[in-house]
Amino acid sequence: MAVGLTSATAHTLVRMRLAALRHSLRDKNRVAWVAGGAFLGLVLAGATIWAAARGDADLVAVAVTVWALGWIVGPLFAGGGDETLNPEYFTMLPLPPRALSGGLLAAALVGFAPAVSLVALLSLVVLGAQLSLGALLIAVPAVLLQLVSFVLASRLAVAIYGVLLQVRAGAVLAALVNAFILAFTAQGWALIAAFISTDVQGTVADAARIAPSGWGFAAVEAAGRGDWLQTVLALVGLALLNGLMLVAWSALLVRRTTATRTGVRVRRVLTATDAAGAAGAKEVRSWTRDLLYGHRAVFAISYGLFFCLMPLAVGWKAMLPWAGAAAVVMGGAMFSNLYGADGTAFWMTLMTPGSARLDVRARQRAFLLVFGPPALLITLLLTWWSSIDSAWPLVLSALPALLGGAAGLILLSSVYSAVPTTDAHKRSGNPLNSGENEGETLGLVYVMLVLISLTAAPALLAALAWTWWGIPVGLASGVLTWWYFGRLAARRLERRGPELLTLLRHGRQPGQQAPASSLSAKLAQLPQWRRTLAGLCLGFGAIPLIPQAVVPAVFKLNHVDAKAWFLALYTAPAWQWPVIAGMALLGLGMYAFGGLTYYRASKLSVASPQADPLEDADGGRSVAA
């Protein structure tokens, strides 16, 4: 009876998942992102199969482990993964936990990501075919069990992460782990070089075989040498592990769909004597009581530290002075959607006369209070540790410019480019899931990383030209950007507040058009292939530029004996520098194509739409609340 219910539930949820996929593919932007991600995934999957065809067993073992890590940590940076079928939707249905978790697991196995991972795991079949007929037969169940383990590990990691984010200590721990992982994706080459230079490649491969992500590979390898006891133990162990993860996930789903959330007793009332003080106290309490705020703040500061400390593994101290600046840039990017995070709670600000300017300035002060002292302390300590005297005027000039620029830009982007997210009181048991606009939120983060970094350019140029005179330039730049961008944000909030509330409450309605003068409307005039190609170039241009050009160049200049996955280092010595140069040109060319496409689109003219009777004299809309 239970098996039949689980099977029927799985069948229904799979059909719902397929229907959701079909509907999502009507969005051309989503199709472009899915196509780009699928293409990149298939390239990496092909590389894994190529390693298996060459008979490089150690590389295949490590590659499969990397795929498993991608499944575990990927959803933590992508809004909690794809939860089209939210478990809360089925709270009122009389479904046993095992039936619901089994159905959701079956639905999770349907999609582009599982299909790409299945292609990558076919490397086990290729490797088994080279070993023996028995190994080839064993590879089939090993691939299926390993794929299920990937999906279960991903869902279980998201569920555990959601539990951690509901307590303060857990939110801090999750932020530290996330910051280390993201910093490793950018600066992990230093740790890899340090490990490889100490001749531990075999140890890494052995560890990959011992880890659960390598049990399917170990079963195929054992079958190839006729060790059937180890083959059976590896497959049975993988099946038991999948069962345990399913049970644990079921228990967490029960907690997620049945837990009650009680109110919090007020510990201390506001004692502000004026409106500005009340707005500031309210905002500071938002940062200290909302666990997502605290999680993102700790993540940004930890990321700056990890990003600049990792090169120490190869003895490079030049990054140390910039840890505070990196924390500020990441912090600004993480908090670039403050009003979007407020959701419909924004109506309280909107209904209070004259509150726009006070609210904007309060949010700016709160950001400076949270990030200013830690960034300054980190900068002073690590610059002193680095013993690089020439770095002092540079970092002390850039830091105030970045703080002021970030404090101004986060409010400007929050007002002009707000992205609707799930209201705080409607958050699901997965706090990472902020609604249906994770892609748009992630795009805003990327844009803000660039814009905030650019605010330090005048101060850095002045410091390079006149050393210590760059500090007053940085202070002036920071104060000016903080004041002017905040002023623009407050004026926009006063004039377009009702429209912003409508957006946050209802989201962008299907068929809603961007203003004719916007870049989106101008881009729509370009051919679809050009827009898609420009997006892919801007999204993936860093791959040939950084890991395939900059990093191998650093390896060669520092005489690091490591090849890893750097194409140039696998060629003959005479061709290594030409390949590095070619990869650098490819990456720069991709960025140039994408940037030029957007620049040309911005110069296009669009026919003005019919006059809107609601358009007021100063260009705004008079929308009734």
Question: pLDDT tens across 43-71, in order?
Answer: 888 888 888 888 878 888 888 888 888 88
Could you read off the pLDDT of 239-261 as tens digits, one per residue? Answer: 999 999 988 888 888 777 665 55
248 burial type by CB count under 10 A (0-12 exposed, 13-18 middle, 19+ buried): middle
> What share of the chain has pLDDT > 70, as a percent?
77
Confidence at 14, pLDDT banded by 50, 70, 90: confident
Residue 1, burial from CB neighbour count under 10 angstroms (0-12, 13-18, 19+): exposed
Select the highest-mean-pLDDT range: 86-95, 207-216, 466-475. Answer: 466-475
pLDDT 10s digits, 329-364: 999 988 888 888 777 777 787 787 778 888 899 999
Select from 256, 291, 307 the last residue of a domain: 256
In this structure, of 187-201, 219-233, 534-548, the range with the lowest mean pLDDT score is: 187-201
Task: Name the band, by pLDDT with cuts 50, 70 and 90, for residue 207.
Answer: confident
CB burial class (10 A; 0-12, 13-18, 19+) of residue 129? middle
Tell whether 351 and 382 lie within a shared domain. yes
pLDDT at residue 327, rounded to an integer: 93
For tokens 């400007």, what's the residue?
A: 412
Q: Which residues contact 180 (CB under 8 A, 6 or more apart)?
A: 302, 306
- Tell how far CA 240 is from the center of its chain: 32
Q: What local confidence, expressed as pLDDT, does residue 193 receive?
A: 64
561/573 Cα distance (integer angstroms): 13
- List the single range of 17-31, 58-72, 145-159, 256-270 with lowest mean pLDDT: 256-270
pLDDT in tens, 574-623: 888 888 889 889 888 888 887 787 777 766 665 444 444 333 334 443 33
- Report the predicted TM-score, pTM, of the whole model to 2 decimal places: 0.65
- Rounded to the nearest 10 degrees, what angle do helices 133-164 and 215-224 cross at? 170
Same domain, 229 and 324: no
76, pLDDT greater than 50: yes
Are 198 and 141 members of one domain?
yes
Mean pLDDT of 103-122: 86
Mean pLDDT across 151-172:
77
Residues 128 and 220 in one domain: yes
Least confident of 147-151, 194-198, 261-265, 474-478: 261-265
Asked whether residue 150 is assigned to any structural domain, the reply reads: yes
H/E element, 528: helix 528-540
For residue 41, what are the CA distances in angstroms to 123, 217, 361, 533?
14, 20, 44, 17
* Mean pLDDT across 386-390: 87
pLDDT at 312 over 90: no
Predicted confidence (pLDDT) at residue 79 exceeds the cutoff of 70: no
Largest Cα span, the chain: 83
pLDDT of res. 608 = 44
pLDDT higher than threshold 50 for residue 162? yes
Q: Is residue 558 part of a domain?
A: yes
Class of residue 66 by CB neighbours under 10 A (exposed 0-12, middle 13-18, buried 19+): middle
| 67 plus 187 within the same structural domain | yes
- Are 468 and 544 within one domain? no
In a domain, 334, yes or no: yes
The answer to whether residue 481 sits within a structural domain is yes
User: What is the pLDDT averaged over residues 378-388?
Assistant: 92
Q: Is residue 133 predicted with pLDDT exceeding 60?
A: yes
Predicted pLDDT at 287: 79
Identify which of 128, 146, 145 has the alpha carbon closest to the alpha carbon of residue 137.
128
Residue 171 has pLDDT above 60, yes or no: yes
Which of 119-123, 415-419, 434-438: highest mean pLDDT? 119-123
Residues 480 and 368 grouped into a single domain: yes
Look at residue 513 in the predicted model and tell me its pLDDT. 44
Q: Mean of the pLDDT values across residues 526-553? A: 74
Residue 23 has pLDDT above 90, yes or no: no
**What domain count does the chain have?**
3
In a domain, 140, yes or no: yes
Q: What is the pLDDT of residue 399?
A: 94
* pLDDT value of residue 201: 56
Average pLDDT, integer, range 384-401? 91
Query: Is residue 247 in a domain?
Result: yes
Question: What's residue 430's pLDDT?
Answer: 53
Which has the minimum average pLDDT: 168-177, 426-435, 489-498?
426-435
In a domain, 514, yes or no: no
The confidence score (pLDDT) of residue 617 equals: 38
Q: How far is 435 from 565, CA to CA, in rounded Å?
A: 36
Q: What is the spatial distance between Cα 118 and Cα 115, in angstroms, rounded to a whole number?
A: 5
Please give the pLDDT value at position 614.
Answer: 36
What is the pLDDT at residue 409? Answer: 92
198 in the same domain as 119: yes
Token code pair at residue 578? 């030409």
Shared domain check, 349 and 305: yes
Q: Which residue has the higher pLDDT, 29 or 410?
A: 410
- pLDDT for residue 295: 82
- 13 and 133 share one domain: yes
DSSP string, 31-70: HHHHHHHHHHHHHHHHHHHHHHHTT-HHHHHHHHHHHHHH
pLDDT in tens, 560-574: 665 655 677 777 888
Mean pLDDT of 72-97: 70
The answer to the question of residue 245 being in a domain is yes
Most confident listed range (32-46, 195-209, 395-409): 395-409
Instruction: Report yes or no: 424 and 340 within 8 Å, Cβ to Cβ.
Output: no
Q: Are residues 237 and 333 in the same domain?
A: no
Question: Does the pLDDT at position 267 exceed 90?
Answer: no
| Average pLDDT along the chain | 78
Long-range CB pairs of 185-191 (<8 Å, 24+ gap) are 186/307, 186/546, 187/306, 187/307, 187/310, 187/311, 188/310, 189/547, 189/551, 189/554, 189/555, 189/564, 190/310, 190/311, 190/312, 190/313, 190/314, 190/316, 191/310, 191/313
pLDDT of residue 620: 40
Residue 400: what pLDDT?
95
Q: Give the SS3 label for residue 456.
A: coil
Domain with 560 in it: 533-602
**Which has more confidence, 359 or 520?**
359
Confidence class for position 459, pLDDT limits 50, 70, 90? very high
Residue 615's φ and ψ, nearest 5 degrees, are -70, 130
Tell me the pLDDT band of 487, cut-offs 50, 70 and 90.
very high
Task: Based on the fold, state whether residues 205 and 349 are members of the same structural domain.
Answer: no
SS3 letters across 146-190: HHHHHHHHHHHHHHHHHHHCCCHHHHHHHHHHHHHHHHHHHHHHH
Quick one: angle between helices 168-197 and 201-210, nearest 10?
A: 140
